[in-house]
């Protein structure tokens, strides 16, 4: 919603300007600082937030400033023209304008343009354009005449289109208006005749522009009080030809038709216009903000002491003359929120909410609106999913507010509610995007993982496990069940984040290994259940063990999913009961995988796994303990698991002996440290030779 905030006056003293108002307000290279050029002799640099001048410069008595001062963003210097032809360049430290750099030009200057990202540009009254640098090299160079006799420049603007500077200026001759567009990447000057339509005799009082990819949209406020829009192509098909462009009515009766002065226009964004002038013939002058999409007056502010019709808009501030003072009104327009978009979708079949479809910039909504009425349910859902995705991307692109996480939470809850009511609605991409904002947690959107579990969406589950710090153990366990139970085929199709798994897991080998293991285990089945016997068997087949160590029992994608489980936080007490519900085969598989990871860990000194974010040794060990604690009675009965248990037993035994050795070593080290310290203490004094600087 657009809103005007409390106004404040910039000058403590009235501008010595008379009714014409200031020549211009231009931004400087520091945010919040603006150059105000009086129509007399003075340039003042203001800090707007402090409402105080930082510097003021005047030309000599008898000279007059003819073109508003601008800041050269590349050097931070200020530039002004006085007496039409004399160029002055100075910086903040200079006190006297008389003593600063001066260049006298051969032709009269209409305006100097300077915007961020490119060098300043000088527009001459005859329509010729020079870059400042080129001009300063040879100030007396000849300036050609571009426009015809009696043609007068009325208005001009300089902007960047895809990093290329573009200059537009409007001229008038005998009531006819022409637009010139100069592109600097191609040095092409295109000329357009503005066709006024039925209101042939109306006088255009004010111009403003906005730019998109293809067109410069030129808004003009005519003497009949209406705002018209003219679209001028940036890349004309035939630049040499003089083309005609037609204007269309954009806003009716924005100001009273009788108003002769104090009328101005400024495009604020693609939907909003600021209009200066009396809304009714009898009323006082007023600043109004119009929404052109909905043709509504958003807000307005009365200016009882009159205004000059000049309006500048930089950042979030509107500058205008009110009475004799330069007034700043902060303007804010909040971006329409995602929540708003969701609300709109809910009522997308309600025709009442649609605006009258004869306005520009309304294509997107028109499409979705019309489509939903005609096509079938599923298409509608697909489209609305896409629409949400787009809106979401826009929302995520803007700056984060302090309540960002609650907004995200509410958005997810909103989406999930819709998922519940419409079973086919599953905005997967949007949900993934939302999870990746890193601000969600399980408790913020409890339904999210339930739905993902329902849909067996392992990718989403993996993401949740990685991002959420507070997943209840029951849900972690449900994920584990799905991860262990899902078929390899369906896994292959999914797109799973594999960064926790490095090349140690290889599919083909894994499959082979499983077969091989089975053969071996069948062999064991014939034997007595004698542990010693088994141990002997094992030691007799060291090669088999080595082989097993090299082969991963699960495919890499499953390994990545299981790693996500290993990384998740849990409390043993709450996890244990849930683990009991997992089928014994799956438990064995998981144990095999964990054991494999452990063997991989112990291959290097640091006891870590390769890869970007691998499970840690502690996590692996904790899970082995957990699984055994929960399912020992079951696992011990499964012949396949016997080998595994034996290996684990041996491993625990070796761990215990290592720990006791380490504890012994620690004591020894501490003694050594003490000795070392004593030795250091003895060196309490020395004389050394040192070189200083």
Q: What angle do CA 359, 364, 366 make, to 5 degrees?
A: 60
Give bridge partners of residue 299 from the DSSP assignment. Answer: 289
Q: Which two tokens stand for residue 608?
A: 């870590």
What CA–CA distance (Å, rounded) separates 590 from 64?
86
Which residue, 282 or 681, has its beta carbon nearer to another protein?
681
What CA–CA distance (Å, rounded) separates 347 from 353?
8
Taking the complex as a whole, how short is the minimal distance between the CB of residue 685 and another protein, in angstroms? 5
Taking the complex as a whole, how short is the minimal distance between the CB of residue 27 and another protein, in angstroms? 25
Taking the complex as a whole, how short is the minimal distance between the CB of residue 94 and another protein, in angstroms? 17
Taking the complex as a whole, how short is the minimal distance between the CB of residue 49 and another protein, in angstroms? 17
Q: Whose structure tokens read 């096509």?
A: 375
Taking the complex as a whole, how short is the minimal distance between the CB of residue 564 and another protein, in angstroms? 24
Taking the complex as a whole, how short is the minimal distance between the CB of residue 32 and another protein, in angstroms? 17
What CA–CA distance (Å, rounded) separates 319 from 327?
6
Which residue, 241 or 664, has its beta carbon nearer to another protein?
664
- List all residues 6 or more positions away from 306 whose beta carbon is below 8 Å from its beta carbon: 262, 284, 285, 322, 323
Which residue, 424 or 657, has its beta carbon nearer to another protein?
657
Taking the complex as a whole, how short is the minimal distance between the CB of residue 393 and another protein, in angstroms? 22
Chain centroid to Cα 420, Å, comes to 30
Which residue, 386 or 405, has its beta carbon nearer to another protein?
405
Q: Do 147 and 171 meet the contact criterion of CB atoms below 8 Å apart?
A: yes
What CA–CA distance (Å, rounded) separates 73 from 58?
22
Cβ atoms within 10 Å of 646's Cβ, excluding its own: 16
Which residue, 296 or 660, has its beta carbon nearer to another protein?
660
Which residue, 400 or 455, has its beta carbon nearer to another protein?
400
Q: Which two tokens stand for residue 105?
A: 């030009």
Q: Which residues bind another protein (CB under 8 A)?
A: 405-406, 409-410, 443-444, 656, 659-660, 662-663, 666, 677, 680-681, 683-693
Q: Please write down the long-range contacts of 142-148, taking CB distance under 8 Å and 24 or more positions apart.
A: 142/106, 143/105, 143/106, 143/107, 146/180, 146/189, 147/171, 147/178, 147/180, 148/173
Which residue, 216 or 620, has its beta carbon nearer to another protein?
620
Which residue, 6 or 688, has its beta carbon nearer to another protein?
688
Give bridge partners of residue 129 from the DSSP assignment. Answer: 123
Which residue, 444 or 545, has its beta carbon nearer to another protein?
444
DSSP assignment string, 616-646:
PHHHHHHHHHHHHHHHHHHHTT-GGGHHHHH
Q: Do 246 and 197 meet the contact criterion of CB atoms below 8 Å apart?
A: yes
What CA–CA distance (Å, rounded) separates 275 from 300?
9
Taking the complex as a whole, how short is the minimal distance between the CB of residue 675 and another protein, in angstroms? 12
Taking the complex as a whole, how short is the minimal distance between the CB of residue 573 and another protein, in angstroms? 14
């Amino acid at each position: 919603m657009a809103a005007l905030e409390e106004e404040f006056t910039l000058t403590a003293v009235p501008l010595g300007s008379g009714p014409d108002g200031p020549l211009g307000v231009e931004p400087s290279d520091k945010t919040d600082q603006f150059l105000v050029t009086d129509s007399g002799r003075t340039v003042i640099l203001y800090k707007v937030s402090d409402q105080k001048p930082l510097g003021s410069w005047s030309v000599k008595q008898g000279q007059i400033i003819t073109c508003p001062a601008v800041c050269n963003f590349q050097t931070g210097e200020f530039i002004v023209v006085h007496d039409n032809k004399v160029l002055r360049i100075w910086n903040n430290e200079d006190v006297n304008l008389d003593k600063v750099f001066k260049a006298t030009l051969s032709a009269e200057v209409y305006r100097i343009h300077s915007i961020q990202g490119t060098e300043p540009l000088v527009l001459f009254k005859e329509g010729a354009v020079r870059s400042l640098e080129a001009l300063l090299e040879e100030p007396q160079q000849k300036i050609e005449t571009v426009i015809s006799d009696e043609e007068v420049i009325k208005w001009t603007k300089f902007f960047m289109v895809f990093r290329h500077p573009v200059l537009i200026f409007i001229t008038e001759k005998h009531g006819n208006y022409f637009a010139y567009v100069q592109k600097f990447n191609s040095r092409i000057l295109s000329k357009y005749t503005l066709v006024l339509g039925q209101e042939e005799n109306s006088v255009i009082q004010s111009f403003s522009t906005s730019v998109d990819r293809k067109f410069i949209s030129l808004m003009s406020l005519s003497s009949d009080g209406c705002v018209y829009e003219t679209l001028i192509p940036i890349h004309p098909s035939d630049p040499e030809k003089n083309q005609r462009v037609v204007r269309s009515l954009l806003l009716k009766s924005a100001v009273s038709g009788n108003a002769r002065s104090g009328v101005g226009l400024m495009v604020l964004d693609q939907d909003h216009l600021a209009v200066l002038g009396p809304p009714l013939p009898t009323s006082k002058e007023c600043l109004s903000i119009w929404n052109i999409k909905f043709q509504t007056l958003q807000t307005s502010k009365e200016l009882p002491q009159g205004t000059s019709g000049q309006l500048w808009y930089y950042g979030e501030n509107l500058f205008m003359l009110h009475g004799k003072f330069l007034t700043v009104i902060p303007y804010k327009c909040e971006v329409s929120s995602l929540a708003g978009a969701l609300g709109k979708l809910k009522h997308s079949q309600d025709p009442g909410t649609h605006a009258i479809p004869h306005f520009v910039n309304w294509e997107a909504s028109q499409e979705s609106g019309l489509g939903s009425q005609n096509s079938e349910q599923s298409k509608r859902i697909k489209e609305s999913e896409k629409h949400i995705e787009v809106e979401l991307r826009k929302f995520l692109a803007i700056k984060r507010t302090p309540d960002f996480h609650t907004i995200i939470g509410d958005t997810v809850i909103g989406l999930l509610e819709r998922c519940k009511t419409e079973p086919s609605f599953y905005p997967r991409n949007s949900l993934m995007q939302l999870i990746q904002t890193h601000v969600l947690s399980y408790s913020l959107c409890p339904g999210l993982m339930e739905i993902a579990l329902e849909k067996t969406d392992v990718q989403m589950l993996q993401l949740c496990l990685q991002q959420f710090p507070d997943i209840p153990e029951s849900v972690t366990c449900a994920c584990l069940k799905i991860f262990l139970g899902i078929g390899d085929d369906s896994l292959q199709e999914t797109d799973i984040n594999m960064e926790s798994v490095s090349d140690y897991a290889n599919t083909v080998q894994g499959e082979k290994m499983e077969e091989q293991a089975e053969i071996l285990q069948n062999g064991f089945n014939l034997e007595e259940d004698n542990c010693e016997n088994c141990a002997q068997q094992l030691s007799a087949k060291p090669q088999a063990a080595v082989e097993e160590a090299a082969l991963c029992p699960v495919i890499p994608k499953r390994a990545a999913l299981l790693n996500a489980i290993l990384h998740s936080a849990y409390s043993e007490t709450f996890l244990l009961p849930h683990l009991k519900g997992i089928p014994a085969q799956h438990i064995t598989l998981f144990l095999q995988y964990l054991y494999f990871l452990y063997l991989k860990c112990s291959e290097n000194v640091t006891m870590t796994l390769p890869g970007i974010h691998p499970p840690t040794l502690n996590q692996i060990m904790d899970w082995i303990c957990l699984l055994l604690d929960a399912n020992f009675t079951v696992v011990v009965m499964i012949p396949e698991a016997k080998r595994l248990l034996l290996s684990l037993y041996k491993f625990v035994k070796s761990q215990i002996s290592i720990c006791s050795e380490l504890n012994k070593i620690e004591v020894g080290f501490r003694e050594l440290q003490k000795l070392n310290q004593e030795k250091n203490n003895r060196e309490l004094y020395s004389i050394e030779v040192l070189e200083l600087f």
